[in-house]
Structure 1
């Protein structure tokens, strides 16, 4: 039935993916106060101060470099859509289990992309010893991983209960 506990966890995955899409994932301060790098689900941007040249009047100029991360947003959206689809597959627990496995793979890919962009590509910006700080969107993805594992556990428990009751008939 749709009011099972795994439905709540699958719905919480959808909520967590919405939070990850709406909030920044990571930020890092540069060596200057006006320098900043941050990453959302759809883009990675760096704002840097351009060094002053000799003989040029004192002006602060900055450049912003924006890199699109559309594939990260697409993966987050696919996780949310597959979770919604899994909610309505309550009659077929094997399909729900398969969808949870696909969600786990996509969430792992999302975490890999984020960690690569922050720990390796983001290391070039500012102080290389500083990793930056992870924000609410990143923790929402971790919460989605936990909710996915819990949903899968309760789906398997329901399947075991149904198979056990079929044996007794």
Structure 2
């Protein structure tokens, strides 16, 4: 039935993926506080100050370098869609368990990509000792990991309960 507790957790995963897709995941200010590096679900952008040359009037706008990370957005969308599909597979708990396992793998890959982008690629930007700030999108992914583990636990508990009651018949 749809009103089981794992449905709530699966729905919370869908909501968390929507939050992660629509909000920035990480940001870091530059060394001179005028630049900003930011990671969203679809792009990694960083502002670079234009070096000033002697005799040339200063420019007011820094250049922005944008690197596409579409695969991160794709993985986030796939996790949300598979969780939404798992909600309606309430009659087949083994399928729900398998979808939760796939979600766990995709969420682990997402966390790996984010940590690589922020801790290694983002380290070169601005102050090397500053790691930057993780924002609400990143914490939504962590919440999705927790909700996925809880949903999987309650699905297994239901399956165990059903198998136990079939044994009594």
For normalisation by structure 1, the TM-score amounts to: 0.98
Judge conservation of contact 1:23–1:137 (CA < 8 Å) in 2. Answer: yes
Pairing 1:74-93 to 2, within 5 Å after superposition: 74-93=74-93
2:116 corresponds to: 116
- How many pairs align? 169
Q: Secondary structure at the match of 1:45?
A: strand
1:104 corresponds to: 104
- Partners of 2:77 and 2:58 lie apart in 1 by 46
1:22 corresponds to: 22
1:38 corresponds to: 38
Q: Secondary structure at the match of 2:21?
A: helix
- Partners of 1:38 and 1:58 lie apart in 2 by 25
- Partners of 1:166 and 1:16 lie apart in 2 by 36
2:133 corresponds to: 133
- Partners of 1:10 and 1:58 lie apart in 2 by 53
Q: How far is 1:34 from its partner?
A: 1.5
- Partners of 1:162 and 1:151 lie apart in 2 by 17
- Partners of 1:48 and 1:102 lie apart in 2 by 39
Q: Which ranges in structure 2 are unaligned for 5 or more consecutive residues? A: none
Q: How far is 1:141 from its partner?
A: 0.1
- Partners of 1:144 and 1:107 lie apart in 2 by 8
- Partners of 1:59 and 1:65 lie apart in 2 by 17
Q: Secondary structure at the match of 2:52?
A: coil
Q: Secondary structure at the match of 1:28?
A: strand
